[in-house]
Each structure stands twice: as structure tokens, then as C-alpha cells.
Structure 1
Amino acid sequence: MFDRVLSLLHRFAEAVAALFLGVIFVAFIVQIALRYLFNWPVGWTSEVSLAAWLWLVLWGAAFVLKDSDEIRMDFIAANAGPRMRRAVGAIAALGVIVLFGMSLPASYAYVSFMKVEKSSYLGIRMDVMYAIYLVFVVAVIARSLRQLVRGPAPLTDEPPSSSSSAL
């Protein structure tokens, strides 16, 4: 049951990321059409694209990216035994938890302060625009806590499998 709920939440996160990607694409097409077909350059399309890109990247890193998809500097752990890999993974997870945890109050203060600023074209408050960063930080801390409890993901030297065969 718990795995089913996590699977549904992951699918929802993927759908939200796809929605952001769709918004970026539509804004891009609208910008091209208005500029080159109607000779009417507008700035709001760039603002929408940038906001959706920011949310897409941080949302995706927080909720869509799997542990096995992350890029890691595992050159120390790759040549070590299982016990050393667990130790290095625990140290790395603790480092992430401490550093992101230390940055969280200042990040919250900055995002809260940004309520006095608004975007140029759409008038979106900047605290709303950058609130996704706080969500990202909390998700990274939670993921690192999970890694600390479960241990590091197993290392693999094999490339991801492909459903198509090589020609």
C-alpha cells in the first residue's frame, strides 16, 4: 500500500514537471508568433518561461529525480568495500544535511524578504517565485536523511538498460 502511494505521488510529480515543460514550450511558441508574425515583441513570455524553468528544475530535482539518476562523485566509494561505502555515504549524507540545514533559515529569510519585489511584466511576487527553493532544500534534506538510514544506493558499472537493440 505504501509503495502504491509513493508511486502515485511520483507520477503526480512527473505530471507537474511535464506541465511546467509544456508551459515553457507554449510560451516559447507564443513569443515567436507574436514577434515574427505580428511584429509585436512582448516580455511576459520570457518571464513565464523563466519562472516555469526555475520551478521545473527545482521541482524535478526535489521530487522526480531518483537516487540512481543523481550525479555523484563516487570515486572514493567506487574502489572501497561495502563497509567503507556505507561510511562514505553516511559522511556525505551528514554533510548535505548539515550544510542545507544551516542554509535553511537564511534561505527562508531571503525568500520571505522577497515579498517586497514583483516581477516586471506579470507582477508575481518574488517570494512566490522563489518559494520552490525552500521546498527543494527540505526535499534534499529528507532524501539525505533517508540515505543515512537506509545506506547508500548500490554502485553499478553497467550503463542503463535500453529496450532497443544496437544496430
Structure 2
Amino acid sequence: MKTERPKWRAAARNFVEAVPAILLAAMFVAFIVQVFMRYVLNSPVGWTVEVCVIAWTWVILWGQSVSAREEDEIRFDIIYGTVSPAVRRVFRLIFSLFLVVIYAISLPAVWDYVTFMKIEETSYLDIPYSWVFFVFVLFTVGSILRYAWIFWGALQGREETHEDGDPQAVTRKDFSE
């Protein structure tokens, strides 16, 4: 059974999934510009490399902390899929609590480093490194919230479900999907 989600939630999901797509498009354009400048005009430009590196950093960290759904995460499915739902619940409790604690412990150091990096800028685009690395703060906070939500759901006994609403779909995941 699939329930209808509020429009704001669908719009938010569309936005967080569009960010990596836009960044990948920017990377592609920068790459094409770099190839054209280097091999056609014989005048390479450095800013394209910066755009690609910054965009890739944001794609990876934004994607994992904000865009990826729980069922998109890599797990040891060989063990996880063969145990009972009660054991999977214990796995989720332990794993999510562990990650919340680790990320929460690291958050002050992450914040200190990112705010410290405002004193340096990228070589070509002169973007403060605090802006470049701010995605790591988002990643850390997003991960804390994500795994706290998973912990809370497991604590309440909420069964893990696939995006189509089928709780058994989690146990059917295999390499053929």
C-alpha cells in the first residue's frame, strides 16, 4: 500500500535529488570546456579542474547525506537479508546509534576546520575553502539526523520498508536489481 505524500515533501525530494544532477551537468560542461580549450585552442584553463573537483565533492557528500534513501545504502545483505526482522531491527539500532555517536563526536572538529578554512581560497576561482568544505558540515549533520531517525524508527519497532512500501522487499534485494 502506497500512501500519498504531502506536496512540500515531494518538492523537497525533487530539489535534493536535482542538486547532484545539476552539479554533474556542471562537471560535464567544465570537462568539455577543458578538452576544447586544451586540444582545440591549445590554451588549457585551470578553473575547469576546480569546478570538477568542487562539484564532485559536493555530489558525493550531498548525495549520501541528503539525496540517498536508506534502501540505497550498501549493506552486507548476505547476513542482513537472511536474519529475522527482529535481528535486523537490532542491527539497525546498534549501527545507527554507533554512527550518530561517531558523527556527533566529530561535528565540533568538522565545524572548526571548515570555519578555519575561510582564510584560504581556491587557486583559480578564489572561492573560500570554507564554502567548498561546508558540504562536509551538511554531510555530518545530515548523517546525524538520518541515523537518529533510523534509530528512532527501529526503537519504535517500525519495520524497514522499501520505497514501494513493501517491508519484504528489503529481504529480496540481490545483485540482479
The answer, yes or no, to whether TM exceeds 0.5 is yes
AA partner of residue 47 (structure 1):
E
Cα RMSD after superposing both structures: 2.0
CA distance in 2, matches of 1:134, 1:24: 22
Asked if the contact 2:20–2:59 (Cα under 8 Å) also holds between the matched residues in 1, the reply is yes
**Where do residues 56-135 of structure 1 align in structure 2 (5 Å cutoff)?**
56-135=59-138
What is the aligned partner in structure 1 of residue 32 from structure 2? 29
2-side partners of 1:138 and 1:114: how far apart?
19
The 10-residue stretch of structure 1 (95-104 or 153-162) with the greater mean CA deviation from structure 2: 153-162
Please report the TM-score for the alignment, with normalisation by the length of structure 2.
0.84
Q: Provide structure 1 residue ranges, at least 5 long, that are not aligned to the other structure.
A: 163-167
Cα deviation digits, residues 52-98 of structure 1 (max 9, x gap): 11111111112211111110235544332222221121010000000
Q: Percent identity?
A: 38
Per the alignment, do residues 105 and 75 of structure 1 end up closer, same or farther by CA in structure 2, a change over 3 Å counting? Answer: farther
Alignment CA distance shift 1:114-1:63 (3 Å): same
- Write the letter of the residue equivalent to 2:88: R
When structure 1 is superposed on structure 2, of 5-14 and 130-139 the one drifting more is 5-14
What amino acid is aligned across from residue 65 of structure 1 in structure 2? Answer: A
Name the structure 2 match of 1:3: 6
Measured after TM superposition, the shift of residue 146 of structure 1 is: 0.9
In structure 2, the gaps of 5 or more residues are 162-169
Q: How many residues align?
A: 162
Q: Secondary structure at the match of 2:172?
A: coil
Choose from 58, 64, 67 the match for 1:55: 58
In the TM superposition, what is the alpha-carbon distance from 1:104 to its structure 2 partner? 0.4
Match of 2:160 among 122, 142, 153: 153
Matched-pair contact (CA < 8 Å) for 2:81–2:172 = no
Q: Distance in 1 between matches of 2:58 and 2:134?
A: 9
Asked if 1:41 is matched to 2:44, the reply is yes
